[in-house]
Amino acid sequence: MSKERIAIIGGGKMGVGIGQLFATKGHEVKIVYVGNDMERGDSAINMEANLNFLAANDVIKKEDIPDIMGRVTYTPDIEDIADFADIVFEAIVENLQVKQEMFKKLDEICPPETVLASNTSALSITMIGEKAVHKDRIIGTHFWNPAYLIPLVEVVKTVHVSEETVNKTYNALKEAGKHPVVVEKDVPGFLANRLQHCLFREAISIVEHGIASPAAVDEAIKYGFGMRLGIMAPFEVMDSCGLDMTKAIHEFVFPDIEDTHEVQKLVTDNIEAGRLGFKTDGHGIQDWTPEQMKESTEQLNVKLIKVAKALDRI
Ligand code: NAI
């Protein structure tokens, strides 16, 4: 069977990343320019920079880059994808109304068997597809940045989606080397962000209660259970340690763990003081020097590649 033809809506960070990963796996890719993509004109430049970075870190071969880039075309005309795409990945601005209009349009122009997937981080897939007629082919595919390095893609079902759409999406992602995980319900945060922000809430609470400093919290995760999580995650840990031990810990610890439904003061107070983090000259919950910010930003992907190689996930 020939490889699915992939259309991407939006030539921003995620759109380019998703397009790049399918092109790397031999798919023909069409990226639709929206917003100010055309004026910025940097989608292909960014993809080439990403590919050069992967080649420099021995993930792909440098001589393959022209072929990969050659499989990607760019168009400002969304109608161009109607007779082209088997799967459309939407990666435009995180705005419900804009995404709803986009899915209405995609639903009108694409044949009913074309899968329409949204890469929204946090919006409801069901609401995004509200104005479309063929809701059975609308699905969530939540990639993680960078889409070409992090294997996980959350495949989010709605009550309307067909099993055929789920299977087609799942199989295409799997064949492209991703690690899709099906999320049965379209809930806020899907699966992984619910877990991630549960950890963030407790991290903030620990600092607010003077139990440890922000640096100590980050170190406890990075040098402790965070290292293990990529190998052994909660359900394996619980069975491996014994549920009796899990019960004993939960009985003692749960009553003391943060369960607020409000955004916490440590976050709102810093925002009010104009301290947003790296984007406000390194002033946030902690203060960062320009060197520390540079190191943090530049080294993340290099270290992700090392981890992915060590765990055989790239
Ligand atoms: P980006 O800012 O790099 O790209 C946004 C895209 O939307 C660009 O193509 C831009 O031209 C277009 N756009 C802007 N205003 C528009 C408008 N009014 N109408 C139509 N298109 C418009 O953003 P990024 O990071 O690529 O995010 C895209 C989507 O992916 C968002 O839904 C975001 O929540 C989601 N996402 C982002 C992740 C990240 O770490 N950056 C991770 C996972 C999902």
Structure tokens at 29: 């890719």
Interatomic CA distance for residues 289 and 277, integer angstroms: 11
Annotated catalytic residue, options 4, 28, 90, 154: 154
Interatomic CA distance for residues 215 and 230, integer angstroms: 21
- For the chain, count helices (H), then strands (E): 14, 8
Residue 96 has pLDDT above 90, yes or no: yes
Cis preceding-peptide flag for 214 (omega within 30 of 0): no
Annotated catalytic residue, options 4, 27, 43, 142: 142
pLDDT in tens, 223-280: 999 999 999 999 999 999 999 999 999 999 999 999 999 999 999 999 999 999 999 9
SS3 17: helix
Residue 279 CA to ligand 1 centre (angstroms): 18
pTM of the complete model: 0.95
| Choice from 8, 9, 13 to test ligand 1 binding pocket (greatest atom count within 8 A of CB) | 13
SS3 6: strand
- Residue-wise over 92-121: b if at least 16 C-beta within 10 A, else e? beeeeeebbebbeebbeebeeebbbbbbbe
pLDDT in tens, 160-193: 999 999 999 999 999 999 999 999 999 999 999 9
Place of tokens 């003391």: 256
- Rg value, the chain, Cα: 21
Contact 183, 154 (CB under 8 A): yes
With 0-12 CB in 10 A as exposed, 13-18 as middle and 19+ as buried, what is 179? exposed
Which residues lie below 8 Å from residue 71, measured CB to CB, with a gap of 6+?
Answer: 23, 26, 27, 28, 29
The pLDDT, as a whole number, for residue 162 is 98
Question: Would you place residue 1 in the very low, low, confident or very high pLDDT band (cuts 50, 70, 90)?
Answer: low
Place of tokens 């790397």: 24
Read off the DSSP letter of residue 113.
T
Ligand 1 neighbours (beta carbon < 6 A): 10-15, 34-37, 91-94, 98, 119-121, 143-145
Residue 298 has pLDDT above 90, yes or no: no
Whole-number Cα distances in Å, 303 to 149, 246, 295, 299 = 11, 32, 11, 6
